[in-house]
Amino acid sequence: MTQPKKLYIKTYGCQMNVYDSERMAEALGGQGYVETSSAEDADMILLNTCHIREKAAEKVYSELGRYRDLKDAKPDLKIGVAGCVAQAEGAEIMRRQPLVDLVVGPQSYHRLPELEAQAGQGRRALDTDFPEEDKFVHLKARPKAKRGPTAFLTVQEGCDKFCAFCVVPYTRGAEVSRPADRVMTEARDLIERGVREITLLGQNVNAYDGHDRGLAGLIRDLARVDGLERIRFTTSHPNDMDEDLIAAHGDCAKLMPYLHLPVQAGSDRILKRMNRQHTAEQYLTLIGRLRAVRPDLHLSGDFIVGFPEETEADFQATLDLVEAVGYGSAYSFKYSPRPGTPAAERPQVAEAEKDERLQRLQALLTRQQRALQDAMVGREVSVLFEKPGRMPGQMVGKSDYLHAVHVTAEGLAPGDLRRVRVLESGPNSLKAALV
């Protein structure tokens, strides 16, 4: 009997890469691969990369260097690079790192079986095209294995916004939406295999237009599917939050009261330089409209500190916006230039100033996050349990608001959705008891 080949995938970056890695593993399953959690055991190593963070390409080369001894010991080991760094620097990766057998961009990974076969014949394979065909149509149907209670589901890819700091339009391409009927088919399949919560993914997910009523229409259709208990979506752009989607936050019970809505800065001057195409006041007005229909909505955001030409006054405007919103969670980063983007050519803020501003912003965001989490004590919330905790009899899950919650009780299992009362607020989680 032929032994299955082992595939090790290391995933960097966003939830969309997590979803893509799942589909890559499924695509290679037809070639006889099964996943392993150890690179040392693998017959194929695949790095699914992200180009958003600082020095992304250098980190990929560093990771590849760690596999040199594995390749020497096992010459038949195949090593591949996928994702956004692959898209941006595919030919350079092939030139700089001879141990790489294949490079594939995020829009071409449905072709992985062909590329793997080519690499198996000793020919290095590179595919960073933006193919005309829909990759999702060409991917194999998902295997019917049991799934955990939560899943990601990509519905939209690409970006047409061209923010001055961002490489996504160049690595993921133009905005494109999957047809609603195909999304619904995949969602029903996930639900049949045990999924109770689906997070809809897209670079600008609320720009989704594969349904005649946009993302709100898709959410309402999903909410009517028996067995699906929770719906979330990420990541949104403020300019694509239409009236129907705002209304859905108030009248769709399965749409969870948590929204990731990046603003990046609070200064109108910097927002204009970023090409965000909205003002701070427009963002705050949008938040007000959302909270009018869902007062308990928890907000998450993204912030870039030290964008080129940012002054102390510009940064103070960001702090003022954060104070006005009150975030439940947020992601904040120092600006780092991305070659080929407009902002990379502009006068840069000194690193010491970036560091100091980032510390101040993160301190404020941490205070807000902790205050909102502490305010949960005494409240009842629903928790979808996902896995056993560290202590005997403990189960861990997520609340409606995406807080990590742990409960110690008999009989709980992954996939259970239960009401709990919050007892304590810890540094990163809530302790609760079943109601």
Q: Kindly give the residue spans of alpha helices, DSSP state H, lying in 75-206.
A: 84-96, 112-120, 135-138, 168-171, 180-192
Q: Tell me the C-alpha distance between 25 and 20, whole Å.
A: 9
* Conformation bin of residue 306: beta by default, left when phi > 0, alpha when psi is -120 to 50: left
Neighbours of 361 (CB within 10 A): 19
Interhelix angle 180-192/214-223, nearest 10 degrees: 30
- CA separation (Å) from 314 to 294, 320, 349? 30, 10, 12
3-class state of residue 21 by DSSP: helix
> Does an H or E element contain 334, and which?
strand 329-334
Q: Calculate the alpha carbon distances from 312 to 210, 302, 382 in Å.
A: 43, 19, 42
Q: Distance between CA 168 and CA 173 in Å, rounded?
A: 7
Q: Kindly report the CA angle at 81 between 75 and 83, in degrees rounded to 5?
A: 165
SS3 assignment, position 27: helix
The SS3 call for residue 113 is helix
Say if residues 408 and 394 touch (Cβ distance below 8 Å).
yes
Q: Binding residue per annotation — 252?
A: no
CB 24, CB 50: distance < 8 Å: no
| Residue 110 · residue 138 · CB < 8 Å | yes
CA gap 248, 217 in Å, rounded: 9
Summarize the annotated binding site for [4Fe-4S] cluster as residue ranges: 14, 50, 84, 159, 163, 166
Summarize the annotated binding site as residue ranges: 14, 50, 84, 159, 163, 166
